Amino acid sequence: MLGVFLDRDSLDCNDLDFSGLDRVLPNWRYYPSTASAEVAARIEDADVVISNKVALDAATLRQAPRLKLIGVAATGVNNVDLPAAAAQGITVCNCRGYGTAAVVQHVFALLLALYTRWPDYQQAVRAGRWQQASQFCVLDFPIRELAGKTLGIIGYGKLGQGVARIAEAFGMRVLVAERPGTVDATEDRVPLPVLLPQVDVLSLHCPLTPETRGLIGAWELALMRRDAILINTARGGLVDEALLADALRRGALGGAGVDVLSLEPPVAGNPLLASDIPHLIVTPHCAWGSRESRQRLVGQLAENIQSWLDGAPVRVV
């Protein structure tokens, strides 16, 4: 059997061990990346294909008659035409939970940077302002404490729960939003219109679906406190980016930390990449990318293939 990995460099920085994949399927073709025009030729005789972000649409799948298993090297599977795969009898498995520790860590890296203003203080030292100070410390940038603040979470799966645990360790109060589109209220969930005015920090951890696209728009931003912080390590499309940029410029929001944009990479630009937006930190979708996280992902890919070979596939989409 032949396995084809279409975009290995999307997760490998020459620091991962792929021997687990080689053990379960000895015959592999590894490609650093694959352009859309190259996909059909590369998978035409494959039995197993792994893709992180390379698109596998219906027309491409039809040109791969031997294909029996698609392993998505991510949780999101929007790059695979699932109905077309099902029609061809192709099993699709994804990976789940591999990046929880890394993403939770990144959420608080962004939040602490915004609350303690350490990037500004580091720049002040580099600019010589501490060396020229008239006293022993520099306190030019307002510092806030997490203790006693309220954190709102939208999306309470493993990531949201992990963020909640750390927030409570900092002494924060945690509120969990009702799932968008929920009809029946639950006792431990707070409707979004009730939650937003209460929170000092809002952290997003829900998937991008038709119901959640543009979830944080003009109305939601207007409900938030002027000093509130928005953290988005989920999907860029959850937030109206132009309105967020405008709110930050106007001082209608205290700050934002985002690790995701609506189009990645942002080859056509993005409203949040403008240089004049205050109190904004943008990182390049790297929250998940610890070496440990990426190695767990490779391990799950191997498990998915082995379980499929054994006739009991796991993590089936």
Sequence-separated (6 or more) residues with CB below 8 Å from residue 218: 240, 243
The 10 Å CB-count burial string (b at 16+, else e) for 271-306 is bbeeeebebbbbbebebbbbeebbbbbbbbbbbbbb
Q: What is the mean pLDDT of residues 173-195?
A: 84
CB atoms within 10 A of CB 122: 11
DSSP assignment string, 104-168: HHHHHHHHHHHHH-HHHHHHHHHTTTTTT-SSS----S----STT-EEEEE--SHHHHHHHHHHH
99-148 pLDDT tens trace: 999 999 999 999 999 999 999 999 999 999 999 999 999 999 999 999 99
Q: What is the pLDDT of residue 209?
A: 87
Express as a percent the part of the chain with pLDDT over 90: 94
pLDDT above 70: residue 185: no
21-71 pLDDT tens trace: 999 999 999 999 999 999 999 999 999 999 999 999 999 999 999 999 999
**Mean per-residue pLDDT of the chain:** 96
What's the rounded Cα separation, in Å, for the pair 247 and 250?
Answer: 5
What's the rounded Cα separation, in Å, for the pair 259 and 242?
Answer: 16
Fold of 3-98+291-309: Rossmann fold (3.40.50)
What's the rounded Cα separation, in Å, for the pair 242 and 251?
Answer: 14
Q: What is the pLDDT of residue 195?
A: 97
Q: What is the pLDDT of residue 183?
A: 62
Q: To which CATH superfamily is domain 100-282 assigned?
A: NAD(P)-binding Rossmann-like Domain (3.40.50.720)
Q: What is the mean pLDDT of residues 152-180?
A: 95
What's the rounded Cα separation, in Å, for the pair 31 and 51?
Answer: 10
pLDDT above 70: residue 184: no
What's the rounded Cα separation, in Å, for the pair 317 and 56?
Answer: 15
Confidence of residue 230 (pLDDT cuts 50, 70, 90): very high
Q: What is the pLDDT of residue 188?
A: 86
The reply to whether 100-282 shares the fold of 3-98+291-309 is yes
The set of catalytic residues is 235, 264, 285
Q: What is the pLDDT of residue 243?
A: 98
Confidence of residue 187 (pLDDT cuts 50, 70, 90): confident
- Residue ranges of alpha helices (H) inside 6-57 are 19-24, 39-43
Across 177-300, the runs of DSSP E, i.e. the strands, are 201-204, 229-232, 255-258, 280-282
CB atoms within 10 A of CB 27: 12
Domain boundaries, the chain: 3-98+291-309, 100-282
Amino acid type, 211: E
Sequence-separated (6 or more) residues with CB below 8 Å from residue 53: 7, 10, 74, 79
Task: Give the range among 18-27, 180-189, 289-298 with minimum mean pLDDT.
Answer: 180-189
Amino acid type, 250: R
Q: What is the pLDDT of residue 179?
A: 79
What's the rounded Cα separation, in Å, for the pair 309 and 317?
Answer: 17
Express as a percent the part of the chain with pLDDT over 70: 98
Q: What is the pLDDT of residue 181?
A: 66
Whole-prediction pTM: 0.91
Confidence of residue 286 (pLDDT cuts 50, 70, 90): very high
